[in-house]
Structure 1
């Protein structure tokens, strides 16, 4: 009974960490959710999983990782941003929450993209436009992550309650 409580607590905690990680990039969002599947297997059973479960979930992870980068970069590029703007916006995304705890998630990428464009000699209005595109890309990326991670959790619930017991 105690091990069951510990197992479910860990699975749920990993799901929560994963969902929080969609908006707080320092947390390993999709990795936490994927790891929760293993925790469930270790505490309860791996028998409910088959090869199709792992193929589907791994495919979603790959799509999520690729989409996360591409959607964010697309927002920067769509608004005229350079490769340096993409790189510095990612640096800002990682460093921002640590430097400016309350607003760093938004301001970090914005400042990174704007700084990159100013370094490359763009005017302030163009740089701010690229920064705005970066923030929009960040939000679009978060929405994609939330949808795909909820799909992963939903598929897992469906699998262990319906598919895995047949």
Structure 2
């Protein structure tokens, strides 16, 4: 059972790292579940401080993930159309434009097109709002990625510390 929990936890942490880039996957939350699964094994002693701290960090990051892009868009004069355009453009960019630039180009173009749908007469405002939306998205994505990498590092460290019990 420990091996199954370990493997499921590792898969969750890896999916969480990818989820930090994809708006359809809650990256930090999935990564935290991976840590939880590791601590549910009999081989790893419970550490409620680590689980509590990482859970609090996950909740804070999840809230900020919704706040930062909208604040960036609004600061630059954008609308909810720009935010939706950013998310749709991100997904389409990942599917049709080679990585690593697909999500950046897609997010920017999506935000710009969303703002043009909102108000097609003011291209300058749409460009400014798209820039704000993109900057907010990039800041939010970077923040989620760093947290997921922290969770991955914690997972590896705890696994290393308990390798004899997990794999022995």
TM-score of Structure 1 vs Structure 2, range by shorter chain:
0.7 to 0.9
In structure 2, the residue matched to 1:134 is 133
- TM-superposed CA distance for 1:101, in Å, is 4.2
Mapping of residues 6-155 of structure 1, within 5 Å: 8-42=6-40, 44-45=41-42, 48-98=45-95, 100-102=96-98, 103-121=101-119, 122-154=121-153
What TM-score do you get using the length of structure 1 for normalisation? 0.73
Distance change in 2, residues 1:71/1:46 (3 Å): farther
For 2:71 and 2:48, the matched residues in 1 are separated by: 34
**Secondary structure of the equivalent of 1:75?**
helix
Distance change in 2, residues 1:26/1:84 (3 Å): closer
For 2:132 and 2:35, the matched residues in 1 are separated by: 35
Distance change in 2, residues 1:97/1:9 (3 Å): same
- TM-superposed CA distance for 1:24, in Å, is 3.6
**Secondary structure of the equivalent of 1:73?**
helix
CA contact (8 A) 1:79 1:133 kept: yes
CA contact (8 A) 1:48 1:159 kept: no
**Secondary structure of the equivalent of 2:68?**
helix
- TM-superposed CA distance for 1:17, in Å, is 2.3
CA contact (8 A) 1:60 1:152 kept: no
- TM-superposed CA distance for 1:95, in Å, is 4.3
CA RMSD of aligned residues (A): 3.1
Unaligned runs of 5+ in 2: 163-168
In structure 1, the residue matched to 2:165 is none
- TM-superposed CA distance for 1:153, in Å, is 4.1
Unaligned runs of 5+ in 1: none
**Secondary structure of the equivalent of 1:74?**
helix
For 2:105 and 2:11, the matched residues in 1 are separated by: 28
Aligned length: 158
For 1:15 and 1:47, the matched residues in 2 are separated by: 17
